[in-house]
């Protein structure tokens, strides 16, 4: 049996998939994809992942994309140390938070994060190189984000939307975690794994939010202390390019 | 055992949940929520669905929101007439298309659909009433969309993004359906149920796309002919407000 994960270390969706595998105690071959060198646009990689995103899991030759789908898959294929509730209603509660992480957490994080990590590179890139990269980007929303960074940056409306989504996530997490101790109830699940990268990112962008939401703050401290989370979120040989 | 579904008839996510229940042959009590009267902002409804969206399922007192989550739930609780592949890899392929429907299909559809169905009402609404409705809208992206409709409408960039997402969905569906006959392979699954409202909507907005994607066109005709789809997508007593 072989598991191979293509990922980019400490980016949010890479952390989700890496953490899922580590919580399950599954060994995998790690392939670091350099986003700054646009290795995710390489034709060989696009054959695995037509979205041109990380992560991608290859399990005995079977290709699975999307971190949330990857985590549901590995939990179903490897039943030890389950990360989904045993009952359907618990799984539904879990999936509501997984969906919120994907649709609210990720886009909210991208606006400040891309501004911080990508804007300088994109802004200073020769136009011809930039045009080539845009033309090789499969997803239209990513093309538009690159064009925003090349121009005036993200608009006030885009930042307002991102911050509004952060507010809403904290509200919903706080309500769930007041009952808790985890997002889907008694059990640490894929919902916690899915939401963690965003709450951890918002901690830096919006420290006011964690102060105002003590149950979420307590959950963050509790979850961050898990050995698998430490192994995933702290820099390691796996989180830097080969040879770096 | 009781199943109750709060929905708004022929809107896309309502069709997803109604179709899931009908394919399973499950009877349910239908509650029509009038979006044009903002019944989804009613405090009693917001207790069931804090997003202020339709649909919401109540199964023996247990509340489940989000059409995709509802459909996974009913398929797990009622195992007859399965709508998920029996193997984990098949379920992963299914979930990739379910996610694409949620994250690409729905937002792409909303831009032209809200322009067609909501703009006139919002534009002519007294400012005080509009402000109240915005203040009662839980989701920030919906608040911003209402404000766009009250003002200049959606921007060219927003339409470009929506049309680009439609293009991409057709590309991905066509590749899958060339092998087919369904999006996740041999079996009609939640992926087909999830994608159907958007392909059906794009048929009107972008007839060029269906002509250019024959496998997707064939799939649409095949799926639309299913009795449960006919019962869901054609107007019926369930798709109009009570007393209308």
Of A230, A240, A236, A225, nearest to A19 (Cα)?
A230
Q: What is the pLDDT of residue A215?
A: 98
Note whether A178 contacts B: Cβ–Cβ < 8 A.
no
Cα gap A88→B13, rounded to integer Å:
21
Residue A70's closest chain B neighbor by CA? B92
Intervals of chain A under pLDDT 70: 243-244
Cα gap A133→A135, rounded to integer Å:
5
Of B203, B33, B178, nearest to B109 (Cα)?
B203
Cα gap A197→A171, rounded to integer Å:
17
Q: What is the three-class DSSP state of B11?
A: coil
pLDDT digits (tens, 9 = 90+) for B47-60: 999 999 999 999 99
Note whether A50 contacts B: Cβ–Cβ < 8 A.
yes
Give me the CATH code for the B88-227 domain, please: 1.20.1050.10
Query: Taken in order B166, B167, B173, B174, is the CA torsion positive or negative?
Result: positive
Residue B59's closest chain A neighbor by CA? A89
pLDDT digits (tens, 9 = 90+) for A113-155: 999 999 999 999 999 999 999 999 999 999 999 999 999 999 9
Q: What is the pLDDT of residue A242?
A: 78
Strand B62-65 with B56-59, pairing: antiparallel
The tokens of A67 are what? 């971190």
- ipTM confidence: 0.97
Read off φ and ψ for residue B220, nearest 5 degrees.
-60, -45
Note whether A73 contacts B: Cβ–Cβ < 8 A.
yes
Of A145, A148, A157, A159, nearest to A205 (Cα)?
A159
Contact A10, A235 (CB under 8 A): yes
- Domain locations in chain B? 3-83+232-239, 88-227
Q: Which 8-state DSSP code applies to residue A83? A: -
The tokens of A30 are what? 């790690």
Over residues B213-240, mean pLDDT: 97
Separation of CA B122 from chain center: 22
Instruction: List, in sequence order, every residue forming a beta bridge with B32; answer none if it has no partner.
Output: B7
Q: What is the pLDDT of residue B244?
A: 61
Cα gap A30→A7, rounded to integer Å:
8
Q: What is the pLDDT of residue A244?
A: 60
Residue A140's closest chain B neighbor by CA? B164
Over residues B197-204, mean pLDDT: 94
Cα gap B48→B67, rounded to integer Å:
14
pLDDT digits (tens, 9 = 90+) for B81-131: 999 999 999 999 999 999 999 999 999 999 999 999 999 999 999 999 999
Radius of gyration over every alpha carbon of chain B, rounded to an integer in angstroms = 18
Separation of CA A143 from chain center: 19
Cβ pair B91:A70 closer than 8 A: no
Of A71, A157, A149, A142, nearest to A106 (Cα)?
A142
The CATH number of A88-226, from 1.10.260.40, 1.20.1050.10, 3.30.930.10, 1.20.1300.10, is 1.20.1050.10
Note whether A140 contacts B: Cβ–Cβ < 8 A.
yes
Please state, rounded to an integer, the average pLDDT across all residues of chain B: 96
Q: What is the pLDDT of residue B216?
A: 98
pLDDT digits (tens, 9 = 90+) for B12-45: 999 999 999 999 999 999 999 999 999 999 999 9
Radius of gyration over every alpha carbon of chain A, rounded to an integer in angstroms = 18
Q: Which 8-state DSSP code applies to residue A103? A: I
Q: What is the pLDDT of residue B204?
A: 87
Cα gap B29→B161, rounded to integer Å:
38
Whether CATH 1.10.20.10 fits A3-83+232-239? no
- Give the nearest partner residue to A144 out of B92, B102, B157, using CB atoms: B157
Cβ pair B161:A140 closer than 8 A: yes
% helix, strand, coil for chain A, step of 5? 65, 10, 30
């Amino acid at each position: 049996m072989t598991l191979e994960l293509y990922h980019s270390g400490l980016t949010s969706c890479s952390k989700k998939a890496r953490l899922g595998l580590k919580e399950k105690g599954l060994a995998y071959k790690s392939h670091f994809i350099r986003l700054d060198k646009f290795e995710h646009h390489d034709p060989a990689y696009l054959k695995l992942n037509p979205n041109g995103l990380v992560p991608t899991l290859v399990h005995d030759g079977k290709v699975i994309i999307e971190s949330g789908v990857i985590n549901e898959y590995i939990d179903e294929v490897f039943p030890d140390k389950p990360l989904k509730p045993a009952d359907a209603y618990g799984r539904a509660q879990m999936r509501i938070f997984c969906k919120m992480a994907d649709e609210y957490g990720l886009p909210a994080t991208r606006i400040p994060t891309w501004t911080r990590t990508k804007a300088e590179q994109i802004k200073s890139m020769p136009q011809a190189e930039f045009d080539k990269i845009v033309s090789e980007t499969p997803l239209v929303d990513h093309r538009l984000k690159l064009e925003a960074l090349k121009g005036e940056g993200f608009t006030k409306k885009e930042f307002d939307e991102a911050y509004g989504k952060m507010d809403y996530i904290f509200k919903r997490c706080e309500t769930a975690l007041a009952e808790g101790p985890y997002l889907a109830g008694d059990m640490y699940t894929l919902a916690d794994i899915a939401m963690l990268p965003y709450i951890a990112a918002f901690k830096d962008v919006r420290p006011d939010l964690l102060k105002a939401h003590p149950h979420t703050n307590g959950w963050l401290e509790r979850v961050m202390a898990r050995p698998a989370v430490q192994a995933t979120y702290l820099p390691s040989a796996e989180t830097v390019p080969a040879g770096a």
